[in-house]
């Protein structure tokens, strides 16, 4: 037995996996990291709202109405009913985020399922799903959201339902396109030839390759969804007063632009920052995951 056999074989280099690469690229992308950090901070503030908010969100005062920024005890001033702006902005984010993210999440699941089904099955099912999608594509998105929630009446669940209807068709389209291109690849053909069933092929070969692009596309929709959700509330179609929500707060503060212009635009800044961060985060994810669309 020679000594050389005792030398342990050099450990195989860590597999240069796809996700390790994605993580490395994300960690190098400063803009994406900053946006993710801002969003995480906002999320934390909303979750911890009862502990960090300086005042109760519904407590108003007739003598403290529309105070400017920096008013003692009210760092961001007060709204038209004398409620603390900082508190209501923190609480308002909860509903704005829920109304913006829930429709996209539902659309990701439902639209992804329908789109993958259409792309994988092809034929008649594809025809059916894609032609119905075409119909909803014939409405500008804002109009469709306003139409559905306008007919259903105001309310959070109606607004979420309307926005979900808006975002399902585009997700279906993307999912169908990616699935169709994956379905025609050689390894799917090979799997089929070796006797794999449709379910196995979808689970093992299709899903891992299509979920990434669909997910990245969906994250890009969150930004639009936030603007639309707050927009519906701004029109009086989403949340109802006195519930704090950024779009609704903008609406009720509109009358105050002559007296407290800076305070009255604060909720809009929150929507803007959230939306732009989600947008850049999605862009960062797209380039890190190397998704081309």
Partner 1 sequence: MLLYLLRRVLYAIPIALSVSLVCFMLVHIAPGDPINAIVPPDAPADVVEQVRISYGLDKPLPIQFAIWLGHVVTGDLGRSLATGRAIWPDLSNALVNTLILAVTAATIGFVLGCFLGCLAASFLGTWVDRLAVGLAVAGVSVPHYWLGMVMVIIFSVTLNVLPAMGAGPDGSGSFGLDWAHLRYLVLPAVTLCVIPMGIVTRAVRGIVAEILNQDFVTTLRGKGLRRSGVLWHVVKNAAPNALAVMGLQLGYLMGGSILVETVFSWPGTGFLLNNAIFQRDIPVLQGTILVLAMFFVALNLGVDLLQTAIDPRIRRA
At closest approach, how far in Å is the CB of 89 from partner 1? 14
Q: Which is nearer to partner 1, 244 or 267 (CB)?
A: 267
Q: What are phi and psi of 259, to 5 degrees?
A: -95, -45
Q: Which is nearer to partner 1, 82 or 268 (CB)?
A: 268
Q: Which residue, chain included where needed, has tokens 């799917």?
A: 188
Q: Which is nearer to partner 1, 154 or 209 (CB)?
A: 154
Residues binding partner 1 (CB under 8 A): 131, 134-136, 138-143, 146-148, 150-153, 223-224, 227, 230-231, 234-237, 247, 250, 254, 257-258, 261, 264-265, 267-269, 271-272, 275-276, 278-280, 283
Q: Which is nearer to partner 1, 115 or 231 (CB)?
A: 231
Q: What are phi and psi of 71, to 5 degrees?
A: -65, 135
At closest approach, how far in Å is the CB of 201 from partner 1? 32
Q: Which is nearer to partner 1, 201 or 225 (CB)?
A: 225
3 state SS of 11: coil
At closest approach, how far in Å is the CB of 49 from partner 1? 22
User: How far is 130 from 142, CA to CA, in rounded Å?
Assistant: 21
User: How far is 43 from 140, CA to CA, in rounded Å?
Assistant: 31
At closest approach, how far in Å is the CB of 3 from partner 1? 56
Contact between residue 139 and residue 150 where contact means Cβ atoms under 8 Å apart:
no
CA dihedral (95, 99, 104, 110) positive or negative: positive
User: How far is 83 from 85, CA to CA, in rounded Å?
Assistant: 6
| Terminal alpha carbon distance of the chain | 59
At closest approach, how far in Å is the CB of 74 from partner 1? 21
């Amino acid at each position: 037995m020679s000594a050389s056999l005792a030398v342990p074989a050099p450990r195989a280099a860590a597999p240069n996996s796809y996700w390790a690469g994605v993580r490395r690229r994300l960690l190098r992308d400063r803009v994406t990291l900053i946006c993710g950090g801002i969003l995480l901070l906002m999320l934390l503030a909303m979750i911890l709202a009862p502990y960090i908010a300086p005042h109760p969100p519904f407590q108003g005062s007739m003598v403290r109405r529309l105070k400017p920024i920096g008013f003692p005890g009210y760092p961001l001033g007060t709204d038209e009913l004398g409620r603390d702006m900082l508190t209501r902005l923190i609480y308002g984010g909860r509903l704005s985020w829920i109304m913006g993210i829930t429709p996209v999440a539902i659309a990701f699941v439902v639209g992804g399922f329908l789109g993958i089904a259409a792309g994988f099955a092809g034929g008649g099912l594809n025809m059916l799903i894609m032609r119905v999608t075409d119909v909803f594509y014939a409405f500008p998105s804002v109009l469709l959201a306003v139409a559905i929630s306008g007919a259903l009446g105001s309310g959070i669940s109606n607004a979420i339902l309307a926005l979900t209807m808006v975002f399902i068709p585009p997700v279906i389209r993307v999912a169908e396109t990616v699935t169709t291109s994956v379905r025609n690849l050689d390894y799917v053909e090979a799997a089929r030839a070796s006797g794999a069933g449709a379910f196995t092929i979808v689970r093992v070969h299709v899903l891992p390759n299509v979920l990434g692009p669909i997910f990245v596309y969906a994250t890009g929709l969150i930004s639009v969804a936030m603007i639309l959700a707050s927009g519906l509330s701004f029109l009086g179609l989403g949340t109802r007063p006195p519930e704090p929500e950024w779009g609704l707060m903008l609406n009720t503060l509109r009358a105050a632009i002559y007296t407290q212009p800076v305070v009255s635009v604060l909720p809009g800044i929150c929507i803007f920052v959230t939306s732009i961060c989600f947008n850049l985060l999605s862009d960062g994810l797209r380039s890190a995951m190397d998704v081309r669309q």
